[in-house]
Structure 1
Amino acid sequence: MWLAVLVVVITSVAAFDVTVTNLWNGGFQAKFTITPNHALHGWRAHLLCDLALDSIEIWRANVVEKRDGGKEFVLVNTPYDPDVSNSGNLVIEFAGHMSGGSSPNCIVTVDGVNSTVPHTTQHAPAPTHDTGPSNGVVAHMKYDYAKALGLSILFYDAQRSGRLPANNPIPWRGDSAVNDGDNGHDLSGGWYDAGDHVKFNLPMAMSTHILLWGFMKFQDAYKHAGQTSMMCDMIKWPLDYFLKCWIPESETYYVQVGDGGPDHGFWGRPENMNMWRPAFKVTAGNGGSDVAGDTASAFAAGYIVFNTICGDASYANRLLQAGKSIYEFAKNHQKIYSQSVPQAAGFYGSSGFRDELSLAAAWLYKATNDGRYLNEARQFHDGGVPWSLSWDDKRIAGTLLLYEITQDGSYKNDVMGFVRSYKPGGGITYTPCGLAYRDQWGANRYAANAAFIAVMAAADGIETNDFVTWTMSQINYILGDNKYHISYEIGFGSNYPVHPHHRGSSCPTSTNWCNAGDPGPNPNLLKGALVGGPDNQDNYDDRRGDYVKNEVACDYNAAFQGALAGLLHFAVNNALPAAPGSRC
């Protein structure tokens, strides 16, 4: 039930409603939308509440002053997101902290925006999990891709290792593994890989550059969803970690922290770990061209994103210099990393490194326009139609990026061949309800990865309507067009998995004791996580112990998020075809 309270009339500035979306003892989450009557280039606002707040954590804005004992907070735009167009909207989310379990009544006023309309603060007792379109736009979407995209960002925030920032949006996560390192070298930070607590740089780097690519390509979708600032904040976390891992002076790159065997023997919160966490590295004498190449791609793509979207040129330049040096390391000391670090082989054993070197060179060309990198990207590239896009095989990503750079028809043909191989009649098995079923391990992941390539190709003008429609068939299956009419993305809609194979989510924050076999739902909602998915007959069991169907991982969400952004991009531009019908 919605409660209308705190009616206030403002005559000199606009007042905007604040909606409380979640409430817990000692805090709450809320959001408001700025809709000015003229374009703003930079803005200043005031959050006014009837109860004092101890502090707030806010995204897409900065707090510059706290007044009246915490009843007013003065906010200004972030340097990288200053503009609000005429009749546009800027959605801002924040978390408030205060004693007790009551939430305040708040409004937001914006200096220099006139209004004489009364406004009310609205409260919802809990998120509604609706699947209708967000922001009142693109109503022809069958599912709300903007909401699903925002949830995916939160999944990565839940995977953070290290000392968490003040704006941490995951209330059940705290500092963890802050002493990760090797002989005094700080290796704290980064993302935990999956439902465990090992940090594997190969899938982490792959996830990072795929996320950056989708962000770069479909930045209008992120802006429409109100997620630009959140994405800049989220994607910086692994990049900061990679900068710690790479030591160019000694040609040393740390590629893993934690040992999979002992780690998998511990079922508990990362905040409660006390095991030894060894660090593993590759060097000039024991190389790792695949993982180093993937990290070079992340650095180069990060350079472009932070230079053009996130508004931090100094940080972008650090990333570019790191990308150049680690690429030379990868190229000059060619070896498969899991041969140098056998502790990785049983979890993320690599099959080769030419695909990572080609992709890294292509990204560095895109970042620098230096023809040497393009020549090397071509030399390392192996054509043809690969089995999948995955953490181990990035050939199709390199093919598509080379096509974008060169417009060479041979690359285009391979991209078309890859997408067609996943479409009906292309040779891949389909479940009865319509999921392209490449493998039982992360079935949703492989379908989403192919969908990402399809929608990226569509944005490049390759069989646009056909590829976008097929992308929708896969993403819509994941979001609800399936046998159980559930969302395989946790937190989306009203019906989704509640027993993901994920230690931190499954353990209460109030105690150090945790039982993996507890039949109840995970006490902490792992928002945005994409679970592995069904078998080849669409059967799925929401059971924590089934790590094939119900584990989550960083690489599961990366291309899935990019595919969501791609579909939202077409919707925002009124170019989204009609959704294909559900088979179930």
Structure 2
Amino acid sequence: MLLVFAFALLLGEALTEDVTVNMKVTKHYSGHFEGHFVYTPKHGIKGWELKIHFSVPVHNIRQWDGDWIQKDPHGEHFVMVNEKSNGILPAGQPLDIRILGEFSGSEVPKGTGVFVDLSHDSQTLPPLPHHTGQATKYNYDEVLMKSILFYDAQRSGKLPANNPIPWRGDSALHDGKDVGHDLTGGWYDAGDHVKFGLPMAASTTLLAWGLLQWKDAYEASGQLNRMYDCIKWPLDYFLKAHTGTNELYIQVGDGSADHSFWGRPENMTMARPSYKITTSKPGSDVAGETAAALAAGYLVFKTKDHAYANKLLSHAKQLYDFSKNHKGIYSKSVPAAAKYYKSASYEDEAVWAGCWLYYATNDAKYLADAEKHHPAIAGGAWGQSWDEKNAGANLLLYKFTKKDTYKQDIVQTYKSWMPGGSIHYTPKGLAWRLEWGTLRYAQNMAMIALMAADYGINPTSYRKWAMGQVNYALGDGGRSYVVGFGKNPPTKPHHRAASCPDMPATCGWDHQRTNQPDPHVLYGALVGGPGKNDDYVDERTDYKKNEVACDYNAGFQSAVAGLKHLAVHNNLPH
């Protein structure tokens, strides 16, 4: 058959090829047949349509590799489109469309057709390298690439010329105008448009840590430069938000007003007030976490951009001193944050920030501070999150000191988290901590487990457990929980911008309530996840199970990088 395959290169350059292909009939018996349309693209593709013509009428036609959008009642002409899980193919990856059907008479059907590029939202996807290292069950390169795309979709402010998200534009360009500071930039928190400093900083720290620990994973997956750009976006924002030695803006936007609006960030008209911590209204937790993020950023950029790295470190030191010298819980000082990200304590951030400043400076005073605060977080950790840093802090203390007491904290933590401990497990194997963002906790702890394994703590069992938790999210749980990846991924995440049609069409609450898939694919976003019994329905209105957030993806992406690192070195667990 003549196969016209028009597609966009993953690098963005359109290319059309005419290729002659015939349906290969692999089985036929008693009026039944099985055929395959096979094509191996020379370049990456994204989104396809297959128009099929049969030489004789067929009926009861079925397949598992696409969705029918047209069926000829006479049985000769059919049209299908790709499923979400197989619309994007790297160069050299075969596309095999399997068809089953029935026919009358003695002539076995012959099939011809035309593949047509759909380029779903015209989004240009970055290229993927040829696979290197150990074979993996899931394409970790693709997951890393798409997770970074999710962070691109969360960007606020003036977008760069190379913005890869065509349905996102400049937004919130007046942030900070109410206080006379430029507070544009940063990430929108989740499916809404508030910029919350504590989870944004916590996400940045985990992403930077993953890059520090497993840089070779980003190099091997072809995503290293994109990852630098990814974390630089919030780091630049934190520099803007630190407007004085003892002053840090920790939120832009009012949650109540924001949540009453369903639309694009580009169309926001509500007031976006700016909130800060000061010496009289302290926030040791958010100041400490932001110091940690900046220190981790320093470590990431110190060989790439020395001047920028030094600027990050200077601000990190000031914020660390601010957090140390003016004690207080930020959500008590800024009640606007309490409804959404209420902090329980600041002792864990004191240890966490001390560890990161020591990591960046090798100055013993920071390590001494961290060890002084350790008794407040000793023992097993509830779970790494935007609010609790116990597991990561204990691991860093062990990394720097090799003291057995910190190692035992980690061991006790995973004794609780692994099967047989106190954590509930779903029937299909997810460590289920909490109904809100349950996948986030499992993925954060998978990341910490992979880190601990690298530091020599139970490497075999911890790596195997971590891979199981990551692979659950990618498909082992029966479906993918990552938008735009794998089998039956979510198509209706709770996310305003992705749910809105292309400009200039209006967008409102009807777009939240519709049962149709989002018009834009929020590639790489990890949704909250299933209930205790693996129960999950892909509904946009279910913000417990189907919202996305910057902190949901951070530990997840880093855990995937950890597994990719193991694959590069042929050391994945069996």
- Calculate the TM-score normalised by the size of structure 1: 0.78
Distance 1:394 1:552 in 2: 21
Q: CA deviation at 1:140?
A: 2.7
Cα distance in 2 for partners of 1:389, 1:282 equals: 24
1:326-475 equivalences in 2 (<5 Å): 326-381=319-374, 382-475=377-470
Change in 2 beyond 3 A, CA 1:321/1:434: same
Report the counterpart of residue 45 of structure 2 in structure 1.
124
Q: Is the 8 A contact 2:279 2:326 kept in 1?
A: yes
Partner Cα separation in structure 1 for residue 323 and residue 7 of structure 2: 47
Q: 2:500 aligned with 1:507, yes or no? A: yes
1:304 to 282, 294, 299: 299
Shift of 1:361: 1.1
**Partner residue in 2 for 1:295:** 290
Q: Which of 311, 319, 323 is the matching residue for 1:318?
A: 311
| Cα displacement string for residues 148-168 of structure 1 (whole angstroms, at most 9, x for unaligned residues) | 111111111100000000011
Q: Distance in 2 between matches of 1:136 and 1:557?
A: 23
Q: Is the 8 A contact 1:502 1:551 kept in 2?
A: yes
Letter in 1 for 2:234: P
- Cα deviations by residue, 1:344-387 (Å, 9 ceiling, x for unpaired): 00100001101111111111111111111110111122311121
Identity among equivalent positions (%) equals: 53
Q: Which has the larger radius of gyration?
A: 2
Alpha-carbon offset, residue 488 of structure 1: 0.3
Distance 1:184 1:276 in 2: 15
Is 1:235 the equivalent of 2:228? no
What displacement does 1:146 show? 1.7
- Counterpart of 2:195, as a letter, is K
Which of 516, 535, 538 is the aligned partner of 1:539? Answer: 535
In 2, Cα distance between equivalents of 1:248 and 1:302: 20
Unaligned segments of structure 1, at least 5 residues: 6-19, 23-29, 32-93, 97-101, 106-119, 579-584
Query: Could you tell me whether the CA contact under 8 Å between 1:288 and 1:336 is conserved in 2?
Result: yes
What displacement does 1:248 show? 2.7
2:27 corresponds in structure 1 to none
CA contact (8 A) 2:263 2:500 kept: yes
Match of residue 131 from structure 2? 136
Contact 1:129 1:494 in 2 (8 A): no
Please tell me whether the aligned partners of residues 248 and 325 of structure 1 are also in contact (alpha carbons under 8 angstroms): no
Partner amino acid for 1:504? A
Q: Which amino acid aligns with 1:422?
A: W
The verdict on how the C-alpha distance between 1:103 and 1:271 changes in structure 2, with shifts beyond 3 A counting, is: farther
Which residue of structure 1 lines up, in the alignment, with residue 201 of structure 2? 205
Partners in 2 of 1:537 and 1:357 — Cα distance? 37
Aligned counterpart for 2:222 among listed residues 202, 221, 226: 226
Shift of the 4–368 alpha-carbon distance from structure 1 to 2, 3 Å rule, reads farther
Alpha-carbon contact 1:221-1:566 (below 8 Å) kept = yes
The aligned residue for residue 95 of structure 1 is 12
Please state whether the residue corresponding to 1:256 is helix, strand or coil.
Answer: strand
Partner of 2:191: 195
Cα distance, 1:555 vs structure 2: 0.6
Q: What SS does structure 2 have at the residue aligned with 1:185?
A: coil
Q: What displacement does 1:492 show?
A: 1.1
Which of 167, 171, 192 in structure 2 is aligned with 1:172?
167
Residues of 2 paired with 1:464 and 1:367: CA distance?
26
Partners of 1:486 and 1:448 lie apart in 2 by: 16
Contact 1:95–1:169 (Cα < 8 Å) also in 2: no
Separation in 2, partners of 1:21, 1:141: 27
CA RMSD of aligned residues (A): 2.0
Give, in angstroms, the shift of residue 129 of structure 1. Answer: 4.0
What is the deviation of 1:412? Answer: 1.0
Instruction: Name the SS of the counterpart of 1:280 in structure 2.
Output: strand
Counterpart for residue 525 of structure 2: 529
Moved more, 158-167 or 504-513: 504-513
Shift of 1:171: 1.2
| Counterpart position of 2:475 | 480
Question: 8 Å contact 1:500–1:531 — kept in the other structure?
Answer: yes
* Structure 1 residues 124-159: Cα deviation after superposition (integer angstroms, max 9, x where no partner): 353744698962333531111121111111111100
User: Distance between the aligned counterparts of 2:307 and 2:131, measured in 1?
Assistant: 37
CA distance in 2, matches of 1:536, 1:502: 23
Shift of 1:332: 0.6
1:327–1:526 Cα change, 3 Å: same
Instruction: Specify the SS of the correspondent of 2:275.
Output: strand
Which of 245, 249, 256 does residue 251 from structure 2 map onto?
A: 256
Counterpart of 1:522, as a letter, is: D
What is the deviation of 1:123?
A: 6.3
In 1, distance between residues paired with 2:289 and 2:7? 38
Structure 2's unaligned 5+ residue stretches are 18-40, 48-85, 94-127
The alpha-carbon deviation at position 21 of structure 1 amounts to 6.3
Give the secondary-structure state (helix, strand or coil) at the position aligned to 1:281.
strand
The amino acid across from 2:506 in the alignment is: N
Asked whether the equivalents of residues 215 and 224 of structure 2 are also in contact (C-alpha less than 8 Å), the reply is: yes
Q: Which residue of 1 aligns with 2:553?
A: 557
Task: Give 1:184 deviation, angstroms.
Answer: 2.1
Q: Partner letter of residue 455 of structure 1?
A: L
The alignment partner of 1:220 has SS state of helix
Task: Give distance in 1, aligned partners of 2:419 and 2:487.
Answer: 30
- Post-superposition offset of 1:178: 0.8
CA distance in 2, matches of 1:493, 1:130: 11
- So what's the TM-score if we normalise by structure 2? 0.79
Q: Is the 8 A contact 2:528 2:547 kept in 1?
A: yes
Call closer, same or farther: CA 1:147–1:2 in 2, change over 3 Å: farther
Distance in 2 (alpha carbons) for counterparts of 1:136 and 1:254: 43
**Secondary structure of the corresponding residue to residue 155 of structure 1:** helix
1:31-46 maps to which residues of 2 (within 5 A)? 31=10
Would you say the 8 A contact 2:46–2:88 is kept in 1? no
Q: Residues 202 and 289 of structure 2 are in contact (CA less than 8 Å); yes or no, is this contact kept in structure 1?
A: yes
| Structure 1 CA distance for aligned equivalents of residues 275 and 360 of structure 2 | 30
Q: Which moved more, 1:522-531 or 1:379-388?
A: 379-388
Residue by residue over 1:388-432, the C-alpha shift from the partner in whole angstroms, topping out at 9 and shown as x without a partner, is: 111111011110111111111111111122122111001111000
Q: How far apart in 2 are the matches of 1:136 and 1:224?
A: 8
Name the residue aligned to 2:482.
489
Quote the Cα distance in structure 2 between the aligned partners of 1:4 and 1:209.
47
Whether the 8 Å CA contact 2:453–2:459 is kept in 1: the answer is yes
Q: How many residues align?
A: 471
